[in-house]
């Protein structure tokens, strides 16, 4: 029995003995195991590469190899993607959102491993990005391909993609609650009983396996400096606002820089531009090397100025009294380093940069507050460094609950749950005043390809143009006579017929209702041509239009049938309003069925 027959036999057995719901629970368990193992492998690879390259660096001086390693890493990643992957694997979370909205939750099989290799090389050699977004794409790809192998419906495919993302976050951060909340907030998969249980199974499985392998200690050691007090609420609110503004700077600057890279012609131009920018920034600010978790650990656990000054080790600032200047410059240039890494050809995400920036911002805010004795009381540096991580992540991702639970689980800082909520909400409300979508969703939202919690828009997003276009094998030409039209009408069930020119470009349409009084009068068949009979439709649709646009055009024009053309005006087919409503109802039933 070959493997295809075996799979077919197992699927038949499954359909007889297991419901889809119960089977998805079993698959979600497998997704949790595989994503946890993938996360552990990725973190181990990054650590081994980084230790191998930098363990002999002196702390008292800058190291010229900081100019070399990041360039080598981005170059190797670029070659790996170009000659082995031969596909774009950047912007992991955005790819997941696009797959859910436009690809029926289908993610290519190579994404189950290529992001691990590419991001391990990029980050291990010093790329200033995070490993979390690549592992989230890996986890979602595992869920998608297991669902495809088991021939599950689109609804369960979407759920397994979410399970993969939840397992990846839960495993790599040891944060099962954050994994669940991340899927609900960022991937915008609605919470129902059908989705809750598989997401919980995957999150708990991934986190439990990670605990078993690497211990139960949180990712970042954190010791509470002072307990929550009501009089510090103004400081928490102010930090939330600052984090929201820094998140806005990060989002807008990254979008601008990505457009700059996109306009550069040729991958080698982009590589050179990104490599020069990245290597110079890491040479000047070694804290930008890799994920930056060492600096986070330092700021969360430092016990005085002597400890915090070690942040400037291996840099030109070593031994100086300019710690705040150094950290402020890091806040400014971190987004440049992260964008240069990915724009130049590397592979990584913005989870770690968000945590890194937030920690630095929280520390700077605290030092400035204490220096200028704002409101007459001091605030603890370690606490505010942790709170800043929550604020930046909430703002950049537009995910306040994810920020709260992730930071609490990352650091064990549950005693500061109230401040975490205040800072998170403050940051989220601040950035929402300027930017309606997260950094992951901006481009998809502009193209109308973003799945949201708005049910009507979500259903329209899940619908595809191909599912509603009626294609035509035969067309009419302007010089045909009424007799030719009668021949086509007699062999067709359609009530509208496209008229095209020799280049197959759409020029008009002939509606059966308009010619019914003529078509049965054979003596007139040679007296009329198609050019005399055709009319112009109320609107033209493009194959690139979203279904939201299609429905809007139908509503505005009151039409029941509209033609679709491509970018060059070539006729593609007709869309009937009845077909749109039928497919809408089918997708809505599948989308809402619990």
Domains, the chain, ranges and CATH? 18-214 (1.10.3080.10), 230-456 (1.10.3080.10), 462-592 (3.10.580.10)
- Contacts with 575 (C-beta within 8 Å, 6 or more apart), sequence order: 465, 468, 469, 470, 541, 550, 561, 562, 563, 564
pTM higher than 0.75 for the full model?
A: yes
User: Which sign, positive or negative, has the C-alpha torsion 441, 443, 447, 449?
Assistant: negative
Calculate ∠ Cα 218-221-359, nearest 5°: 105
pLDDT per residue as tens, the chain (594 positions): 566 666 676 667 767 767 778 888 999 999 999 999 999 999 999 999 988 887 776 656 667 788 889 999 999 999 999 889 988 887 777 777 777 766 777 899 999 999 999 999 999 998 999 988 899 999 999 999 999 888 887 778 888 999 999 999 999 999 999 999 998 888 766 666 667 899 999 999 999 999 999 988 888 888 778 888 899 999 999 999 999 999 999 999 999 999 899 888 888 899 999 999 999 999 999 999 988 898 999 999 888 888 888 888 878 888 788 899 999 999 999 999 999 999 999 999 888 999 999 999 999 999 999 988 888 888 999 999 999 999 999 999 999 999 999 999 888 778 889 999 999 999 999 999 998 878 777 766 555 555 544 555 556 666 777 778 888 878 888 888 888 888 877 777 788 888 988 888 999 888 888 787 777 777 777 778 878 888 888 899 988 887 878 888 888 888 888 999 988 889 988 998 888 888 777 776 665 554
Cα–Cα dist 348/123, whole Å: 7
- Which of 313, 348, 296 lies closest to 66, judged by CA? 313
Can you read off the two tokens belonging to residue 125? Answer: 């050699």
- The span from the CA of 244 to the CA of 1, in Å, is 59
Q: Side by side, which strands form the sheet with 561-565?
A: 469-470, 571-576, 561-565, 541-542
Question: How crowded is residue 179: how many other Cβ atoms within 10 Å of its Cβ?
Answer: 35
Distance CA 130, CA 373 (A): 36
Nearest-angstrom CA–CA distance, 400 and 395: 7
Two tokens at 542?
A: 């493009």
Question: Is the CB of residue 582 less than 8 Å from the CB of residue 470?
Answer: no
The sign of the dihedral angle between the CA atoms of 223, 395, 201, 119 is negative
For 104-139, letters b (16+ CB in 10 Å) and e give: ebbbbeebbebbbbbbbbbbbbbbbbbbbbbbbbbb
Residue (of 450, 469, 409, 128) closest to 281 by Cα position: 128
- Report the C-alpha gap between 210 and 219 in whole angstroms: 11
Rg value, the chain, Cα: 29
Report H helices in 264-322: 267-284, 293-301, 305-309
Distances (CA, A) of 560 to 4, 203, 474, 576: 45, 47, 21, 6
Is 141 in contact with 103 (CB distance < 8 Å)? Answer: no
- Whose CA is closest to 463, among 453, 454, 451? 451
């Amino acid at each position: 029995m070959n493997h295809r027959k075996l799979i077919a036999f197992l699927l038949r057995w499954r359909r007889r003995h297991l419901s889809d719901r119960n089977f998805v629970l079993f698959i979600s368990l497998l997704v949790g195991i595989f994503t946890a193992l993938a996360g552990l492998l990725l973190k181990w690879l990054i650590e081994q590469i980084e230790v191998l390259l930098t363990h002999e660096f002196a702390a008292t001086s800058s190291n010229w190899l900081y100019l070399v390693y990041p360039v080598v890493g981005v170059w190797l990643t670029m070659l790996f993607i170009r000659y082995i992957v031969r596909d774009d694997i950047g912007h992991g979370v955005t790819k997941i959102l696009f797959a859910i909205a436009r690809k029926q939750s289908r993610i290519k099989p190579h994404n189950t491993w290529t992001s691990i290799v590419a991001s391990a090389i990029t980050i291990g050699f010093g790329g200033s990005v995070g490993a979390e977004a690549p592992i989230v794409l890996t986890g979602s790809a595992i869920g998608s391909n297991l669902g495809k192998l088991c021939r599950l419906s689109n609804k369960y495919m979407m759920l397994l993609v979410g399970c993969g993302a939840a397992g990846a976050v839960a495993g790599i951060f040891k944060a099962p609650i954050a994994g669940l909340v991340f899927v609900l907030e960022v991937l915008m998969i609605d919470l129902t009983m059908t989705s809750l249980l598989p997401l919980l199974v995957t999150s708990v499985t991934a986190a439990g396996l990670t605990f078993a392998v690497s211990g139960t200690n949180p990712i970042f050691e954190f010791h509470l400096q002072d307990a929550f007090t009501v009089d510090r609420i103004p400081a928490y609110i102010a930090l939330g606002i600052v984090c929201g503004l820094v998140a806005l700077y990060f989002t807008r600057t990254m979008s601008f820089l990505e457009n700059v890279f996109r306009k550069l012609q040729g991958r080698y131009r982009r590589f050179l531009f990104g490599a020069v920018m990245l290597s110079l920034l890491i040479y000047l600010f070694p804290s930008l090397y890799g994920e930056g978790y060492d600096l986070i650990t330092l700021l969360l656990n430092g016990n005085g100025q002597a400890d915090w000054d070690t942040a400037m080790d291996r840099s030109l600032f070593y031994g100086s009294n300019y710690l705040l200047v150094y950290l402020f410059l890091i806040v400014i240039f971190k987004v440049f380093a992260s964008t240069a890494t990915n724009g130049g050809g590397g592979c990584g995400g913005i989870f770690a940069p968000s945590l890194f920036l937030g920690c630095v911002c929280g520390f700077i805010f605290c030092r400035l507050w204490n220096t200028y004795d704002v409101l007459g009381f001091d605030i603890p540096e370690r606490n505010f460094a942790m709170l800043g991580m929550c604020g930046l992540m909430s703002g950049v991702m537009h995910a306040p609950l994810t920020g709260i639970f992730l930071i609490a689980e990352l650091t064990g800082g549950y005693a500061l749950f109230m401040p975490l909520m205040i800072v998170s909400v403050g940051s989220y409300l601040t950035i929402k005043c300027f930017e309606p979508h997260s950094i992951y969703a901006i481009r998809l939202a502009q193209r109308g390809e973003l799945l949201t919690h708005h049910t009507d828009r979500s259903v329209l997003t899940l619908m595809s143009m191909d599912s509603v276009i009626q294609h035509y094998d035969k067309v009419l030409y302007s010089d045909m006579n009424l007799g030719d039209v009668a021949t086509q009408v007699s062999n067709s069930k359609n009530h509208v017929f496209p008229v095209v020119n020799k280049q197959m470009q759409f020029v008009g349409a002939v509606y059966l209702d308009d010619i019914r009084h003529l078509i049965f009068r054979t003596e007139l068949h040679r007296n009329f041509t198609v050019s005399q009979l055709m009319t112009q439709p109320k609107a033209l649709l493009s194959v690139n239009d979203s279904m939201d646009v299609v429905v809007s055009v139908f509503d505005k024009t009151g039409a029941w049938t509209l033609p679709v053309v491509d970018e060059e005006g070539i006729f593609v087919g007709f869309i009937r309003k009845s077909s749109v409503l039928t497919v809408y109802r089918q997708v809505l039933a599948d989308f809402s069925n619990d």
